[in-house]
Amino acid sequence: MSLNRRDLIKGTTAGLLAAPQLSARAGTLAAPDMQRIAIEEAFVTQAIADEWQKFIAAGSPGEPGFQKMGESILADSPGTRAIHERLINLGADRIQYMDDCGIDKQVISLTSPGVQVFEDRLATELAADANDQLAAAVKKYPSRFAGLAAVAPQEPGEAAKELHRASSSLGLRGLIINSHTGGRYLDDRKYWPILEAAASLNMPIYLHPRAPGQGMVEPYLDYGLYFAGWGFAAETSLHALRLIMSGTFEELPSLKIILGHMGEGIPLHLERIDNRYLLQVKIGAVKPLKKLPSEYFKENFYITTSGFVQQSALQLCREEVGINRILFAADYPYESVEDAVQFIDSANLSDAERKRVYQENAASLLRLT
């Protein structure tokens, strides 16, 4: 059963119940010398989902974008209930769907916005519980699942401690940050303990989108622009560029960031970003960095294919950031996994490049076995 945003747009659950339409190579696991590893694959705990509904019922204070999601993708309907069932499941049903679509391993992480809309203590407790549940699933199915830890940036010191626990005790391989927290970004020195812990533990940060924060969301609320089609990428690309322009990678050169959705559009703009940065340095508008912004992007960032089945976008990213920086992701259960597999299977890549995208880049970055 293929269940994703495109199906919801069609406004019918009939299509959601149909068997997956698989590519020639999908429907079986990859060849013995190659695995399909999908690294932006979502889950949620029932406790977090319940707290979301309470938060939405209270009007989502300080989170107008999330309130809009409460009226759409999080509203109660047959389609959204089916998505929720897929998010909750960390067992046989998820694995069966992976088998049906030819996915060897999912790298699972807490879906957006995770715990980042909650008050501090609740967020910290829910993140730890989510990590425990995810780690238990990974332990039960080690050949099929790996995981990224969730933390509550609201309490940076506690978040750093949780990241140490996730690495040393739970075996999780990175962390998920669902972009801003209350409109604040990771370049804020408040969050330095999280960045230092991630760098020291060799835990890449998957910087995942969510609706823009209260300070920028107003023009996005009309016409659905706050959502994944535009607002998510606009908000998360801003977050990534703030990390670059703040000099974060000069202080933490080993810090690694993963961006989904073909780098949230940044690869297309790298030349212009450099060009305008140099102008601003020349006129004294910004402090100079030791390297060009594009160099930090190419050295400290990885990108995934999540949500894209556009060959021209893949080729542009291949040219701009290199094949060794591109990882496969299907964005389960929000996008069509079958389409994602067919996209890479049919891409104009050599067999060696395809293996880099499907398996080797993720295995190296996340230390997967």
* Catalytically active residues, by annotation: 331
Q: Pick from 80, 55, 84, 81: which is nearest to 67 by CA?
A: 55
The CA distance from 67 to 44, in Å, is 18
101 with 26: CB under 8 angstroms? yes
The residue assigned the tokens 């909750």 is 88
Q: How far is CA 80 from CA 13, 73, 306, 344, in A?
A: 10, 6, 20, 28
Q: Pick from 243, 261, 260: which is nearest to 252 by CA?
A: 243
The 10 Å CB-count burial string (b at 16+, else e) for 89-123 is bbeeebbebbebbbbbbbbbbbbbbbbbbbeeebb
The CA distance from 325 to 288, in Å, is 26
Q: What are phi and psi of 121, to 5 degrees?
A: -65, -45
